[in-house]
């Protein structure tokens, strides 16, 4: 898994990029896509989303915060910017959203949706524990 996929030069320093680095990046991009698409969808369907939130007792005033978290967090995750902080925030958000919006466990579909949120939060825990990998803005700025 640590075979060298390619190499590149930054700041006169030769750095090997491994297959694991590429897989870490791909995993972050896959997670990020979910949140960027969801954030954009909430903008496109703002009134409907606000109504759905209000119907479940969540103030619609929080919708801009949710959109900012999903879009900003998704983009930060994709770029590897403050990844551990973003993983903590999005993981907590994902669990909270699951508890609020998918807690009707008598409905099998809601059970599946809740478990999906648990799995995504688990991926964020792994990011929090293991870090985002080598291909990140955090690492780029740390070398400067």
**DSSP state, residue 18:** E
Q: State the pTM of this model.
A: 0.87
Give helix 83-101 / helix 63-79 axis angle, nearest 10°: 140
Answer whether residue 127 is part of any domain.
yes
Per-residue pLDDT tens over the stretch 67-98 = 999 999 999 999 999 999 999 999 999 999 99
Domain count, the chain: 1
Which residues of the chain fall short of a pLDDT of 70? 1-15
Is 123 within the bounds of a domain?
yes
Give the span between the Cα atoms of 21 and 112, in whole angstroms. 31
* 104, part of any domain: yes
């Amino acid at each position: 898994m640590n075979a060298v996929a390619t190499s590149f030069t930054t700041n006169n320093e030769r750095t090997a990029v491994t297959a694991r680095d590429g897989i870490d990046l791909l995993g972050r991009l896959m997670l990020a896509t979910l949140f960027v698409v969801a954030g954009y969808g909430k903008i496109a369907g703002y009134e409907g989303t606000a109504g759905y939130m209000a119907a479940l007792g969540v103030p619609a005033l929080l919708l801009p915060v949710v959109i900012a978290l999903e879009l900003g967090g998704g983009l930060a995750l994709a770029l590897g910017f403050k990844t551990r902080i973003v993983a903590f925030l999005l993981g907590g958000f994902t669990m909270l959203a699951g508890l609020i919006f998918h807690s009707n466990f008598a409905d099998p579909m809601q059970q599946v949706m809740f478990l999906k949120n648990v799995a995504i939060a688990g991926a964020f825990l792994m990011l929090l524990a293991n870090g985002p990998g080598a291909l990140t803005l955090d690492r780029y700025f740390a070398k400067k």
